[in-house]
Amino acid sequence: QLLVANPIQQQQQLLSRISVLCRNAAQVEAVLEGGEAAVDEVVIDFLEARGVEEALKRVRSHGLRAVVAAPRVIKPEEKNLVHWLLGLKPDAILVRSTGLLEQLNLLYEAHKTTDPLPQLHGDFSLNAANEVTVWTLLESSRLDRLTPCHDLDAAQLATLQENLEESSSYLKPKLECVIHQHLPIFHTEHCVFCKFLSNGSSYKDCGHPCESKTVHLRDTASGHDHLVLADMGCRNTVFNSQAQSAAPYLHRLSQSGYRRFRIELVDEPSPFVGPLVAKYADVLSMMEGGGGSREKKSTSSDIRDAERGLMSWLEIVPDANGRTHGVTEGSLRPSDERNWASLRPTARR
């Protein structure tokens, strides 16, 4: 039987799709209320287990895919967490460690029921920095999608995608690029919530102030406030106050073949979430031949103006305390490799 591809389906595969990672229920509601057509899934990355199941249901009720994010670190005594993740019956699990990936691979191989299993999406922390690593992770595991690591700048991300497309069309839809985030800059087992906001010494007697209080660490040199979040194991992660945006490089990334993009929210207030997602979606739409929010076809000049406009708007997005910290290209800014001879001599050189 000859199967003929549906032109509408082919066109849909060429369109960019956006995943939005939310860290609280208010952000989830803001994404759902925004109703942006380019958004087809929401990633739930809550501080506590409470509220995760309800958030997944809310996402599905709006016809979107519901993804749950696993903790970045899972200790031996926490290995049963995988069963909780599977018990939520999400559409996909965002896998952040090779240990959890191996655990899920073994469980999937032993799966003998007809119940559908969630897809597995690999996060940046799996350290896929080149084609060899991408091939190894995708072919030796059950990953359906993979995010390259943050060591790559925008030019290197684009080159990686182009090289993969040249080698195999199989990998074309497999890579996801994070285009908006606050980079995690510090991770520790020490809990500042327990230490400074309670009289307890562990989660058993601290009263869980992390569930009701928001903590930022202020950099006295720059005046920036870096958000602190605790995970389910009471470990703390400090996030950069400045958002890192790929807005100036969206055209290059789209040209290289990326069609899956992710926006990661940290403590952006819910009134800003809808406009933030819509502005990214608008720029991506302009690159695909549409006019974004306008009816006429976009020119290269229009796209550049939209990218600059998005960066300017991101400068005024406040944090949970109403303070603005601006936006940066950060590690996405391409830079030339320094010549070895120009590097500072070391004792071994």
- What distance in Å separates the CA atoms of residue 46 and residue 56, rounded to the nearest whole number? 11
Task: Report the CATH superfamily, name and number, of domain 15-183+243-331.
Answer: Phosphoenolpyruvate-binding domains (3.20.20.60)
SS3 248: helix
List the chain domain ranges.
15-183+243-331, 186-238
For residue 98, give the amino acid letter.
T
* Model pLDDT for residues 105-122, shown as the tens digit of each residue: 999 888 766 678 899 999
The pLDDT assigned to 3 comes to: 40
Tokens 């942006």 sit on residue: 36
- Give the helix, strand, coil percentages of the chain, each rounded to 5: 40, 20, 40
Nearest CA-CA partner of 46 in 82, 8, 85: 85
The 3-state secondary structure of 174-199 reads CECEEEEECCEEEEECCCHHHHHHCC
CA atoms within 13 A on the CB side of 290: 14
Helix 25-34 / helix 52-61 crossing angle, nearest 10 deg: 0
The pLDDT assigned to 292 comes to: 54
- What distance in Å separates the CA atoms of residue 290 and residue 304, rounded to the nearest whole number? 15
Nearest CA-CA partner of 67 in 101, 49, 92: 92
SS3 27: helix
The set of residues, in sequence order, having a beta carbon less than 8 Å from that of 5 and lying 6+ positions away, is: none
* Ordered per-residue pLDDT tens for the chain, 349 residues: 444 444 444 444 558 999 999 999 999 999 999 999 999 999 999 988 889 999 999 999 999 999 999 998 888 888 788 999 999 999 999 999 999 999 999 998 887 666 788 999 999 999 999 999 999 999 889 999 999 999 999 999 999 999 998 876 555 558 999 999 999 998 888 899 998 899 888 888 898 888 888 899 999 999 999 999 988 888 899 999 999 999 999 999 999 999 999 999 999 999 999 999 999 999 999 988 755 554 556 788 888 999 999 999 999 999 999 999 999 999 999 987 777 777 777 766 5
DSSP letters spanning 283-349: HHHHHTTS-TTSSSPPPHHHHHHHHHHHHHHHTT-B-TTS-B--EE-GGGS--PPPPGGGSPP-TT-
Strand partners, 122: 95, 146
The set of residues, in sequence order, having a beta carbon less than 8 Å from that of 273 and lying 6+ positions away, is: 27, 30, 31, 34, 265
CA atoms within 13 A on the CB side of 183: 14
At 225, list the tokens. Answer: 């406030």
At 45, list the tokens. Answer: 């990355």
* Model pLDDT for residues 84-96, shown as the tens digit of each residue: 999 999 999 999 9
The pLDDT assigned to 173 comes to: 52
Nearest CA-CA partner of 106 in 70, 148, 142: 142
DSSP letters spanning 101-145: HHHHHHHHHT--SSSPPPEEEE-GGG---SHHHHHHHHHHS-EEE
